[in-house]
Each structure stands twice: as structure tokens, then as C-alpha cells.
Amino acid sequence: MTGLNRVVAIDTHTHATVSTRNAPDEVAIAFDTAMAAYFKEKMPRPTIAETAAYYRERHMMAVIFTVDTERANGQMRITNEEVAEEAAKHQDVLIPFASIDPMRGKMGVREARRLIKDFGIRGFKFHPSAQEFYPNDRMAYGLYEAIAEAGLPAIFHSGQTGVGARMRGGGGIRLKYSDPMFLDDVAVDFPDMPIIIAHPSFPWQENALAVATHKPQVYIDLSGWSPKYFSPLLIQYANSILKEKMLFGSDFPVITPDRWLADFDKIGIRPEVKPLILRENAIRLLGLDKDPVYGRYVRLAPPEQGECC
């Protein structure tokens, strides 16, 4: 641990893409190669430890997770245990989330409860298109109940995805599952489970804004897109009615936080709103300032003059 006493930003959306325990997976490599071509960038493939070093160098924290798509596309998942155990070595920067395919049923619920109890998981990540389920499918509700009982947040991918983009048949990915309006049912049925709608939700941006405006526990993370491509309506809501419910997220390693932040500075976000989006909303949502582990790293006020950061 580095003893950081100031965090300049919290990236609420980063991916664990390389396992130090699993053998290389040909399905994962194929999807990653296609995604790099889609985003027209050479996508780095850091280990979890390398991701921690990257964020530590920038005085940032990051929520990190894998995505369980074993049933849907045959990609071997990086285990949630690996994510949690590696993140525990880097608690000054990494916040571990888990991913469980809701169609695992009762075994998925058991896994979630064990991860929360024994591994310190801080939230859960779902990708309806890649996991082939509608978020309001009652099959998922047992898993949501376990998450809600623990008071943890759930991130749901929304909108179009780079996963499978331009692969034959889109890599089998169906976009229909990721309309954020399906999360309106989840927000009604689980009012105590914080929900994060991930990404600008093209082509359903207004649906995401409507749900986040109407349901008090629903947030939006701004990952997966360079801010220069944000719609004027999204920027308007971020600057006003949803300023306390917008979260910085990059989608690293698909997009680096360096690129995201450089473009974010150019889209007209009000100066008093920027700190909310970059860190304060996440600190409040994740309860970092009250947590005995993370609280010693996060400071809401700037450091005193001369204090090391």
C-alpha cells in the first residue's frame, strides 16, 4: 500500500482482461482483437497488478471486474476470486466487483453470497447483451436479492457495445437486451439496490436519462465513449438535474482515463460539477469515506498545504 491520502478521480468502470492463473483463451483473444479494431486503437492487455500500478501513478482509484460470459459465448472467465484476491493486494487503488451470469440460478446466488462474505466484493457487474438476458428477467431476481441485502451496487451495460462489433454476426451479441428501460423494472422491484447504467446508452440515451431521473437509486457511468461524442442532452443533464448521479468511468483498457479526461475538459461541464462526476459521487455511492479499508485513502477535502499527495 502506498498510503495515498488524496484521490483525484475514481474510475467506476475498468476491466480485468488478463489472468495470471488461466491459460490464454482463444475466444477472449478473438473478441479483444475485434474490439481493438473497432475502436481503432491498440488495446493494452494489463494484468490486474499492472492496472493497479497504472492507476496508482495517476493518483486514481478504479472499480475493476471481469464479465462472466461462459454460458453465452464460451469465453473462460477470469474468476471473481482472482479479481478479489489481486485487488486486495492493491487496496489503495482497486475496488473489486464481481460478475455472475444470472442464468446460473441458485448456484450463482450462492457464489454471490460467498464472494460478499469471504472476499470483500464491493458490487456486481452485468452485461445483458454479452450474457444474453433481459435485466428484468425473473431468473435474475434471486441474485439481485443477494446484492440488495448486502447494500451493494450493480452495474449494467447499456446501449450498443464494442463486444463483437464487426465480427461475423456481431459475435453472436444481441443489442436488444441492453435497452436501459428494462432497468426501470429492476429499480422498482429492488429500491434498495443502487443501479449504475453503464455508458452513454446509444440509441436509448433518453431512456437512460428518464430512468435515472425518476428512480432515486439509479446512476449513470460515462464510460466506453470519448466525452467528445456525448450527446448535447447527456451533457445538459450531467450539468444540471443529474449532476449528483453521473460517474466518471473510462472502460479501461478499451479507453484510457488519460484520453477520457482530456476530452472531458472540452465539453463544457461546469467547474463546480466536475469534482462531483470525477470522484465525489462515487465516494458517496460506494461509501468509501466510511469504509475502514478505503476511508484512509479517500479524502473529500484537498490536502493541507505541504501535505504529501
**Nearest-CA neighbor of 155 among 209, 217, 233?**
217
Q: How far apart are the first and last CA of the chain?
A: 14
pLDDT recorded at residue 28? 66
Instruction: Judge whether 212 and 183 are in contact, CB under 8 Å.
Output: no
From its phi and psi, is residue 159 left (phi > 0), alpha (psi between -120 and 50) or beta?
left
φ, ψ at 246 (rounded to 5°) = -100, 140
Q: Break the chain into its structural domains and give their ranges.
A: 9-290
**Nearest-CA neighbor of 16 among 103, 74, 79?**
79
Which residues make beta-bridge pairs with 248? none
Domain 9-290 fold is TIM Barrel (3.20.20)
What is the rounded CA–CA span in Å between residue 155 and residue 19? 22
pLDDT recorded at residue 308? 37
φ, ψ at 203 (rounded to 5°) = -95, 25
The C-alpha cell at 295 is 476511508
The C-alpha cell at 98 is 464481481
Instruction: List Cβ neighbours of 16 (8 Å cut-off, separation of 6 or more).
Output: 48, 51, 64, 65, 66, 78, 82, 83, 86
Instruction: Judge whether 15 and 287 are in contact, CB under 8 Å.
Output: no
Which residues make beta-bridge pairs with 154? 124, 195
Segment holding 114, helix H or strand E: helix 106-119
Place of cell 475496488: 95
pLDDT recorded at residue 47? 96
Cβ atoms < 10 Å from Cβ of 112: 26
What is the rounded CA–CA span in Å between residue 250 and residue 169? 27
Q: How far apart, in Å, are the Cα atoms of 231 and each of 120, 235, 237, 274?
A: 37, 6, 10, 17
Instruction: List Cβ neighbours of 256 (8 Å cut-off, separation of 6 or more).
Output: 250
What does the pLDDT profile of the chain (309 residues) look like in tens digits? Answer: 333 358 999 999 999 999 999 777 676 667 677 666 766 667 788 999 999 999 999 999 999 999 999 998 888 889 999 999 999 999 999 999 999 999 999 999 999 999 999 999 999 999 999 999 999 999 999 999 999 999 999 999 999 887 766 778 888 889 999 999 999 999 999 999 999 999 999 999 999 999 999 999 999 999 999 999 999 999 999 999 999 999 999 999 999 999 999 999 999 999 999 999 999 999 999 999 988 889 888 765 554 443 333
